[in-house]
Amino acid sequence: MSFLLPCPFCGRRPVDEFTCFGEVTKRPASSPTLRELTDYVYFRDNAAGVQREWWQHRAGCGEWFLAERDTRTNEVLEVKLPEPQRPGPGSDLVGSDPR
Amino acid sequence: MRLEPQQRERIDRSRPVSFTFAGWKVTGFEGDTLGSAAFAADKRVFSRSFKYHRPRGLLCCSGHCPNCLMTVDGVPNVRVCTEPIREGAVVRGQNVRWSLDLDFMSVTDKIGAPFTPVGFYYRTFIRPRRLWPLYEKFLRSAAGLGKLDERAGHSRRYDVEHRRARVLVVGGGQAGRAAALAAATTGPGVVLVDEDARHGGLRLKGVEVLAPARALGIWEGGLVPVDAGTLLYRFRVERIIVATGATEQPLVFPGNDLVGVMLPDGARRLVRDYSVKPGNRAVVLASDDAGLEIADDLREAGIAVPRVLDLRDIRPRELAAQGRKGRVRRLVVDDESIDCDLLVASAGSQPAYSLLAQAGARIEFDPELGVFVPTELPPGVEAVGSVTGEGLGKVAPEPAYRGGGKCFVCVCEDVTTKDMKRAIAEGFDSIELAKRYTTTTMGPCQGKLCHLSSIRLYAQENRMYESAIGTTTARPPWAPVELGLLAGRELTPARLTSIHWRHVEAGATIQWAGPWKRPYAYGDKPDDEVRAVHESLGVIDVSTLGKLVVEGPDAVALLERLYPNRFGDMKPGRIRYGVLTSDGGRIMDDGTIARLADDLYYVTTTSTGADAVTAWFEWWNAVWGYEAEIVNVTGAIAALNLAGPRSRDALQRLTEADVSAEEFKYLDAQEIEVAGIPTLALRIGFVGELGYELHFPSPAGEFLWDRLVAEGARPFGLEPQRVLRLEKGHVIVGQDTDSESNLYSSGMSWLPKLDKDDFVGKFALEHFARREEKERLVGFTMEDDYLPAEGAQVVIEGRPAGRVTSARRSEAAGAVIGLAWVPADRAESGTRVEIRIDRLLRGARVMHGAFFDAAGERMRG
């Protein structure tokens, strides 16, 4: 991987400056079954195609943002800052747990 | 032998330079290469071939072929044909037993051929298997290239430099220079790289010239690593212009590797650049116009050229070079024999498209030219000059191999036409398979001189068109590169605390701790430091702790959702221990959280976890969009842990604030001045004694350290701290826990508050709370004085059933104590388990809680 990624603030920078936190997933709303929980914690779509991902410009401005990337070509179609989503019942909370 | 001065010669005859060549003293001139000077001194054999140990001489003189690979001053595989001459250099042959001119291993050439066909080692040396080490030893010494000088060690230093350029031109020939100049008219940021050292002096307006330097490949995002000797440039470029030109191809015919068979450009360079006479009687074998022109050049230099054969006009039935002692003596064409000591032969020029192919261009066979040309270039990549096929003449359509004797397709790996035919007969019917089986194109030239001829041979044998065969995949690096250059110099920035040099002055043993350098102990008696903390007063530099300030109206909400325990009910000025868990319920990090005001928290993390925890906090904050700011102040704030029964008195002497037991309780946080330094004092007890963690601006680090030491605090290092915390049964996240550990199995079931609304890890912890854990983290005391290693097995009924994560000999506990993971049914206090120490099983008793001062009176008092 050596492509350039556009940071919403700093513009196109080498990907080495960024940290990828993996694809955007949906956090279960409340009291998930063990199966739903395991799905969320461990399973990823790993799409061969366009995928929404969390990135941080860690060695740069530090901003967290969402990127739409084609995993086949590393072409980044769109980057944007996340919409603030206050937690609460039924909120479509997105988050991915890389650990 | 030198010629009369030539018009464009590069040597300075007034400045002689001497060096040793295979034991002989050789004198050349400034401007020579090691190879041209040796050739001028009538040295003809430069190497022995890879497999058959045949003598080899200069072939291309342009740094492509393997024939002049030698060991120069201990550095193996140097191409002496392009390596500039230098005084006192020691040049030695490689892959040779005895000498270049008389190599014992060349016996493989005489008798070995029937026993050494292609792929022979895959088959011959398979059985018996146990003999393989012996075979391997022999094969490795018999074949191959240069050897590394093990004593030379780290004699060279390599660096990496990151650079940006608007336009990078690869290749400094006519087309490359023109493209660079044209690009420079549209703005700055134009760089040209060329492998020829003499281009270093090239002056092009508005163009930066790097030479000698080689582009190693083209990666996505316009990343081009450029090898400039001991410096690797990592270029990021917007436009890449490839002007790598075309490479003359050796003609394939019997005896084509004899010393004295040269490519036209090689002979031309010797004459034009170094005024060296390449031979006395030359025969020219040409496949295109460029191949013919050399005849005039040679005649002009006074070399007899009795015959010029244009293979486009004649189709000889037999064509073979014959020689004596590996040197060419005559060329046999049909029934005619022509004496010569130089045979200039070429099969035409092939565009050097490798970089373009790596970048993603399509490579197609051009039937008009008879060579492969690049098409469909990827965006941002351009090609100019003869690499596109432009200006190349049509070449003779068929290869010329006819006649007896070895006929080399690949001089690097000693692959003959017979080997190729055999591979095809054995069923390796795709060019990619044949390449791997015969190793054609896999030698030091990376296919530059054998790719085209192997495909032509393949096409002829299979009665196919070249276009149907296609090319093998081009992979970086496009030129050989020293491994040291790729590895670069070890650049691990050590993080040092602001008090670091005080530790060094005090004679501390310094060791790595994550990204930090920290004192292990201040002498060889860590136990004395432990005793000082228990009996009077100690101080440890804990500036490495991660320190975050979390502030804002939503700060409390953010922390409540990040930690399994509660913070909203904490009063300002109080401290609570917290453990971060992931949504999978696993322990990630731990630390203390001090509430300084309603909307202001001071969070500490483990020393190695600071960056990850900061990222974790910021990420969830981005997900949830809370109104909270997170600032990592790890480097800005120094921290000292003042611990021991005398710590209160010592602190009181340095501050006007009241730090009495009534006014400054256990788990209180107070902003006070210590010796005039504004300090956040946290009363916590990681080491189990009365103690204060003092957090204050880094620049005052040495000052406050000195003051505390003057108050009688004995510095203690990491090792005594580990003993002290183990005596209290305090867990170190990452040492005693791993990525599978959760709060229940680690004995911290009191910590999570599952009645909270939601927090990271809640769902998983709900499940964990309901299930039986298989393993538990427990303390243990050894029955005897044996000290288990960290990681030692816990054995139950003869089977490994757990592991020791920490163990130390403790004076205060009067025993060897430790922490270990054991099966849940053995986790009861008092259960006997066995631990393997040096292959023997030693008894231990499970213990819960602290090994020393179990009630915690010392730290709470």
Average pLDDT, chain A: 84
Domain that holds residue A67: 4-80
Closest to A3 (Cβ–Cβ): which among B220, B619, B764? B220
A32 reaches B (C-beta below 8 A): yes
pLDDT at position B722, please?
96
Question: Chain B: nearest CA to A22, how far in angstroms?
Answer: 12
| In a shared domain, residues B677 and B786 | no
Instruction: List the CATH number of the domain containing B577.
Output: 3.30.1360.120
Count CB neighbours of B667 within 10 A.
18
Query: Chain B residues with CB inside 8 Å of A66's CB?
Result: none
In a domain, A91, yes or no: no
Q: How far is B135 from B139, CA to CA, in rounded Å?
A: 6
When CB atoms are compared, the residue of B615, B619, B763 closest to A28 is B763
Which residue range forms the structural domain that includes residue B111?
Answer: 12-120
Q: Is the torsion defined by CA of B8, B10, B13, B15 positive or negative?
A: positive
Pair B716, B570 in one domain: yes
Q: Please count the structural domains in chain B.
A: 6
Q: What CATH number has the domain bearing residue A30?
A: 3.30.2270.10
Query: Which residues in B lie closer than 8 A to residue A92 (C-beta atoms)?
Result: none
Does the beta carbon of A89 lie under 8 angstroms from any beta carbon of chain B? no
Tell me, yes or no, whether A98 lies in a domain.
no
Q: Rounded to whole angstroms, how far apart are CA atoms B688 and B641?
A: 12
Six-digit token string for A98: 């890389």
B359: closest CA of chain A, how far (Å): 13
Q: How far off is chain A from B233, nearest CA to CA, in Å?
A: 15
Query: Which residue is listed with tokens 């747990």?
Result: A97
Give contacts of B628 with chain A, Cβ < 8 Å: none
- Chain A: residue nearest B360 by CA? A73
Q: What is the pLDDT of residue A89?
A: 39
* B248: in domain: no
Give me the pLDDT at residue B111, please. Answer: 62
B854 and B808 fall within a common domain = yes
- Across the interface, whether the CB atoms of B618 and A62 are under 8 A apart is answered yes
Choose among B222, B619, B625: nearest Cβ to A21: B619
**Which candidate in B161, B166, B220 is best for mutational testing of the A interface (most A CBs within 10 A)?**
B220
**Measured distance CA(B670)–CA(B679) in Å, rounded:** 8
Cβ contact (<8 Å) for B620 and A21? no
Q: What is the count of structural domains for chain A?
A: 1
Are B625 and A85 a contacting pair at CB < 8 A? yes
Q: Is B754 on the interface with A (CB under 8 A)?
A: no
B313, B354: one domain:
no
In a domain, A87, yes or no: no
Task: Collect all residues of chain A within an 8 Å Cβ-Cβ radius of residue B615.
Answer: 19, 56, 58
d(CA B810, CA B210): 63
- Min Cα separation A54/chain B (Å): 9
**pLDDT at position B112:** 57
Q: Under a CB-based contact definition with an 8 Å cutoff, are residues B515 and B495 in contact?
A: yes
Q: Give B772→chain A minimum CA distance, Å.
A: 15
Closest CA relative to residue B467, chosen from B401, B357, B370, B398: B370
In this structure, the answer to whether residues B235 and B339 fall within a common structural domain is no
Considering the domain architecture, whether residues B676 and B586 belong to the same structural domain is answered as yes
The encoded tokens of residue B6 equal 């030539």
Residues B686, B645 share a domain: yes
Given an 8 Å threshold on Cβ–Cβ distance, is A95 in contact with B625? Answer: no
- Long-range contacts for B187-190 (Cβ within 8 Å, ≥24 apart)? B189/B164, B189/B165, B190/B165, B190/B166
What angle, 0 to 180 degrees and rounded to 10, lies between the N-to-C axes of helices B451-462 and B417-425? 50
B498 is a domain residue: no
A9 touching B (Cβ < 8 Å): no
- Is B837 inside a domain boundary? yes
When pLDDT is cut at 50, 70 and 90, the band that residue A99 belongs to is very low
Check: CB of residue B603 under 8 Å from CB of residue B550: yes
Give mean pLDDT in consecutive 10-residue pieces for chain B, a chain of 861 residues: 86 94 93 94 90 89 90 88 92 78 67 61 68 74 72 74 94 94 95 84 89 91 91 94 94 92 94 93 91 91 92 87 91 91 92 92 89 92 94 73 80 88 86 88 87 87 84 84 80 89 96 93 94 96 97 94 91 95 93 96 94 92 90 96 96 96 95 97 93 97 97 96 95 92 92 90 92 93 94 93 96 95 94 93 94 89 81
Q: Give the separation between CA B328 and CA B175, rounded to whole angstroms.
A: 36
Closest approach of A45 to chain B, Cα-based (Å) = 18
Secondary structure (3-state) at B97: coil
A86 occurs within a structural domain: no
Q: Whole-model pTM?
A: 0.76
The token duo for B797 is 């009924």
- Report the alpha-carbon distance of residue B769 to residue B751 in Å, rounded: 12
Question: Of B615, B624, B739, which is closest to A86 when you measure between CB atoms?
Answer: B624
Q: Copy the structure tokens of residue B589.
A: 């990090």
SS3 B402: strand
Are residues B260 and B238 part of one domain? no
Residue with tokens 């409390």: B556
